Structure 1
Amino acid sequence: MRMYLGSINDQVWEVTENDYAIIDPNNPSNQDKTNKQCNTMALNTIYNAIDSKVFEQIKDCERANEVWTRLEETYDGTPEVKSVKLYILKDKLTSFKMKDDESILEMFHRLQVIVNDLKALEEEIKNDDVSH
């Protein structure tokens, strides 16, 4: 039974990440039917994981792949947006200094937010980058 669930989960992710096409809607193959079912499962999973404000942004999408792409662009940004975010965060890191009115704990928290944001953009951070 576990193998079956794993393969369904893999198919659901495949449909979400790469989309699918039904060649002949009047005579769908077994794979077409499975893809359509996986798309429905993916949409239901996404709908259950988001709040109503986010749902308003994606409710016009009929395919899990469309929803996933829109959410990625909204929350991760396009490659150009990621590049700008990365540039800004690197600048914040290189010019990072303790503020006159903050504690060491507050300063460390600000630094950790910058480092975590850089890591989220898949930027490699070395200890030397934050120890100067």
Structure 2
Amino acid sequence: MAAPLNHEEGQSSTRPPRFNGHFYSWWKVRMHDYLMSEDNELWDIVLDGPFIPMMEEKDREKTNLVPKPRQKYDEADRKKIEKGYKAKTLLVCRIGPDEFNRTAHEGTEQVKESKIDMLTSQYENFKMKEGETIHDMFTKLSSITSELRSLGEPISMTKQVRKVLQILPKSWESKVDAITEAKDLKVLTMDALIRNLKTHEMNRNYDLSRRQKRISH
């Protein structure tokens, strides 16, 4: 069978097959074979998305995986990141912008699903550390829920409220019981909950400061 005309420029075995918007399935098979012949990890990158370096973050009860800061990348991380750019370059150099949006769609969906899985795991394992402020805890949790919402996976207000009450340290147990008994959690907003917790935190810190002053005198 003759090759589609729009691929005639891409028949060389030393460069990726060219695609200009037609015979996508045929081009995809040839691009798959080309990338596998270059490096069998390149096609995995096309499907799964670029490598994201991760690190362990420990709290008192669990160890969570979080994205590494760029400053902590090691040589292995950088090599994997470079390989991701190589896969992207080989795709982009042989197609136009319109076709790139089409061919990147499959990989984009894979990346989106991977991000959702990672963020969902972070949300489920999230805990407030003993000594951490309500503000710092809420900032971290909001970052996770906001990213999930932007990816089309919003978490309801009621679930977020219950999550905050569940992750508070043991020293907050009496306050959690008081809120649970006094408030209807189905209608309690996150803003109202955080204001309540911050007020309690401020009062606790004030009482602790007064006790320490009496002891020191």
* Interval containing the TM-score (normalised by the shorter chain): 0.3 to 0.5
More strand by share: 2
Using CA pairs under 8 Å that are at least 6 residues apart, name the structure with larger relative contact order, 1 or 2: 1
